[in-house]
Amino acid sequence: MEEIKLLESMWKARSSRQTTLIVPQVNYDRLNSSLSNEHWAFHVPYGFRDALDIRYDQRVKDKKKYMVWTQGPILKFKEGDTLKSKDGKTSVQVSSANRMGWDTEKNEMYRGVVIYKKHNIVDGVYTKAGDYLTCQMEFLKLLIYGENSYRDVTE
């Protein structure tokens, strides 16, 4: 739950980006870029940096500029995002989503919405298991831990 606690710790007005990330590290090279999140339940590749609010930012220390990976609190999974579990038994695809954001009127974090389709995979055959509604943070928990508090929207 460390990843979730890190994001929640940034839930305040004008929160600054952190240099501690929800992934152990970001590796970039032309052939093998990675978020080093092999311990997550779903394979979430390097291309999902924006959805996880991970950026390569310029910082200044002692008047010297340097680049560092930073973490923000705003998750923004979007329509079409498709991810497969590491065990190869499940796939999820976002049907519709609203990103997270700071609600200035309520002075709290708006957690966003994610509606996704879940498929079970058996011998390479995808079978729809249902349509689900959750928030961005709970969707992230599904990707990390393989569990989620969601509502089946087909019921």
For residue range 1-33, what is the model confidence (pLDDT) as tens digits?
788 899 999 998 777 899 999 999 999 887 888
The ranges assigned to domains in the chain are: 2-152
Q: pTM surpassing 0.85?
A: yes
Beta-carbon contacts of 45 under 8 Å, excluding residues fewer than 6 positions away, are 33, 34, 35
pLDDT band at 150 (very low <50, low <70, confident <90, very high): low
Predicted local distance difference test score (pLDDT) of residue 154:
55
For residue 133, is pLDDT > 60?
yes
For residue 152, is pLDDT > 70?
no
Please state, as a whole number, how many other Cβ atoms lie within 10 Å of the Cβ of residue 13. Answer: 10
- Per the structure block, which two tokens stand in for 24? 């152990």
Predicted local distance difference test score (pLDDT) of residue 151:
61
Task: Determine what percent of the chain is predicted with pLDDT higher than 90.
Answer: 82
- Per the structure block, which two tokens stand in for 72? 């923000």
Mean pLDDT of 127-131: 94
The residue behind tokens 């079978």 is 127
For residue 93, is pLDDT > 80?
yes
- The whole-angstrom distance between residue 20's C-alpha and the CA centroid of its chain comes to 15
- Residue range 30-74, pLDDT digits in tens: 788 899 999 999 999 999 999 999 999 999 999 999 999 999 999
